Structure 1
């Protein structure tokens, strides 16, 4: 049951990613971006360091798939590890596919000149500072959001209990 739930979750994530790319590129169908705009968009992705975010996806898919099969039959561990190692080597270059897709999304939403301007920004001292500082800012903002959500949750729980008590329910 747990293994099938994990497989369902994996399928749901993959379907969501597929739909996001399909729906996200719908506006681009009217006019396909030029190859040079796509190339500039790839440079933007690389300059931002975003390409590194996509590279673990292939490995993650392989490892999650291995885990699903391992949960189904733990005795297959050795063979699954060997097959996974083979697949890591075989599929290593597939991460470039997502970079290409993302570059097309950028190129469909920005003109080539805008992409060049964005690239110039990311190559500037301020752009490089943003690239360096943004991960820490995002990390701290996520931590702050978790604390905030927990505090709000406690407030909502207390308020809901009070309101339910008024209705004769002690929860």
Structure 2
């Protein structure tokens, strides 16, 4: 089953790039997200259930290996003579830090708990388990993708109109562009 998150590969890339700028010390525990209030365990559980139903994990599933690889490539760009060693170290670091992408899911659950009350999240879980909720989970990704395609086509067509208006206004000024 597809999810809303399945059509957002750019979001996964953004997560990867954002995480790539974090300190590399893998032994540091995850700090609380600044500006978010602590959430109750029940709220976090409901948020995680919603995220699981939406297949949010697919968005960040490869975050660790991708960031490890990007970091290796960045180091390699200034240390070409260490390519063999860096390739070997990449495997070691990826294994050592495997599973850390789950921190993203924890953070997302905290964010949901700050956006919705615990009861709202529980109500959403009930809704997503209903026939209409299941239909939404199934149909929404396609609706969003189709909407994105429509917006792209609209913008291209509108840009042609805007270009024509610029040209017409410039012709009025005696200038051909």
TM-score w.r.t. length of structure 1: 0.72
Report the aligned-residue RMSD. 2.9
Equivalent position SS for 1:94: coil
What's the CA shift for 1:47?
1.5
Distance 1:145 1:73 in 2: 44
Structure with the larger RCO, 1 or 2 (CA within 8 Å, 6+ apart): 2
* 1:33 counterpart = 2:39: yes
Equivalent position SS for 2:175: coil
- After superposing on structure 2, the runs of 4+ consecutive aligned residues of structure 1 that deviate more than 6 Å are none
What's the CA shift for 1:76?
5.6
Sort the Cα spacing of 1:145 and 1:58 in 2 relative to 1 into closer, same or farther, 3 A: farther
* 1:137 counterpart = 2:147: no
What's the CA shift for 1:75?
6.5
Q: 2:68 aligns with which of 29, 37, 62?
A: 62
User: As a proportion of its length, which structure holds more helix?
Assistant: 1
Q: Is the 8 A contact 1:37 1:107 kept in 2?
A: yes
Distance 2:84 2:139 in 1: 42
- 1:7 is aligned to none
What's the CA shift for 1:109?
2.1
Distance 1:79 1:158 in 2: 57
Distance 1:159 1:86 in 2: 58
Structure 1 residue runs without a partner (length 5+): 1-9, 19-23
- 2:131 is aligned to 125
Equivalent position SS for 2:176: coil
Query: What aligned pairs does 1:147-158 form with structure 2 within 5 A after superposition?
Result: 147-158=153-164
Q: Is the 8 A contact 1:48 1:122 kept in 2?
A: no
Sort the Cα spacing of 1:110 and 1:142 in 2 relative to 1 into closer, same or farther, 3 A: same
- 1:109 is aligned to 115
Distance 1:158 1:80 in 2: 53
Distance 1:143 1:66 in 2: 35
Distance 1:139 1:59 in 2: 27
Distance 2:122 2:46 in 1: 7
Distance 1:145 1:77 in 2: 44
